[in-house]
Amino acid sequence: MKLLFAFIILSSAFMSCNSEKNKFDKTVDPILNPDLIKEFHSVKYLDSLLVNNGVKKIGEINVRENLDSCKIIFNTMTGWNDPGDFLNIQIVDSKNNETFRLNNLDGWMKCIGNYDLPETIKSVNLDKSEIALLIENKTGKQLVIFGYSYASEPGLMTIIDLFPKPQVIFNTQFDLRSISSISKNGYLNFIGGTTLLNHVVLNMELMKIQKH
């Protein structure tokens, strides 16, 4: 009887662990569309500026998915007075090894203050510090950061798929206004506007911008 009871306890624990693990299992990899991944300009120049002037951390986010985890660090440059709350993001893994680094001389904005996300988007944001937008999509956890907007032009919206290895899957001017409910295939899509079209959907399954 004792052996049977022990077996039931161990089986329940194993199923619970598997359930927690599978809860966030990545079922598909994101499609990469080169037309939607614009290059940042002056990346090497900003690298040298950060080295020469020094880096100032403005915040960080700890993210976990399955048994993996990472820390996202948001940096600006010491003495920086131009637009943009942060100019650099750095991602380190659970062993504190840098796995990703990205610079933007035009700067990214925090999701509070001058760039305030709509309430409907805030409700799905896993980053309670509101430095950035962190969501759970079909391909796993994604970091969304917003570039400085000049005049009537939308700023760059950058989407980084975080696990198993960080990669930029979208970097294009996009004015995000809402995030759709989960589609029948399990995706959250982005609704907003571009420089040419005012009402569009970023289809995250096909990685295409479509008229809304």
Does residue 164 have a cis bond before it (omega within 30 degrees)?
yes
Q: What tens digit of pLDDT does each residue of 24-43 get? A: 455 578 899 999 999 987 77
Q: Which residues contact 191 (CB under 8 A, 6 or more apart)?
A: 176, 177, 178, 179, 180, 200, 201, 202, 212
- The alpha carbon of 102 is separated from its chain's Cα centroid by a whole number of angstroms, namely 12
Q: Which tokens sit at 109?
A: 């904005």
Q: Determine the Cα–Cα distance for residues 147 and 168; give it in Å rounded to an integer.
A: 14
Whether the CB-CB separation of 185 and 202 falls below 8 Å is answered with: no
Give the pLDDT score at 1: 52
Strands across the sheet containing 190-193: 175-179, 190-193, 200-203, 208-211
Q: Determine the Cα–Cα distance for residues 191 and 200; give it in Å rounded to an integer.
A: 6
Give the pLDDT score at 181: 86
pTM: 0.85
Whether the CB-CB separation of 190 and 175 falls below 8 Å is answered with: no
Q: Which tokens sit at 209?
A: 């911008």
Alpha helices in 24-81 (DSSP H): 43-53
Comparing C-alpha atoms, which of 72, 51, 56 is closest to residue 158? 72
Give every residue of the chain whose pLDDT is below 70, as ranges.
Answer: 1-27, 114
Return the beta strands (E) in 68-132 as ranges.
68-77, 86-93, 98-109
